[in-house]
Amino acid sequence: MKSRSMWGKVARIGMLAAALLSIGAGVAAGQHRDVLQKAVMVCLECIGIG
């Protein structure tokens, strides 16, 4: 029983590490600006300005 919970914990930590690495790579490449710009455009289109 302990083995299964240990593997679950290892899997969660592994997924968290992969997510953080992906976020870091995106920020390092400057992609956060593109995402923000697209989000602003979607919001402006929703309220009828864009």
Where do runs of H (alpha helix) occur along the chain?
A: 2-28, 31-46
Task: Report pLDDT digits (tens) over 4-25.
Answer: 789 999 999 999 999 999 999 9
pLDDT at 1 over 60: no
For the chain, the structural domain boundaries read: 2-46
Model confidence at 43, pLDDT cuts 50, 70, 90, reads confident
Upper half-sphere CA count for residue 46 (Cβ side, 13 Å): 6
* Average pLDDT, integer, range 22-34: 94
pLDDT score at 2:
66
The pTM of the full predicted model, rounded to 2 decimals, is 0.62
Angle ∠(7,25,29) on CA atoms, nearest 5: 170
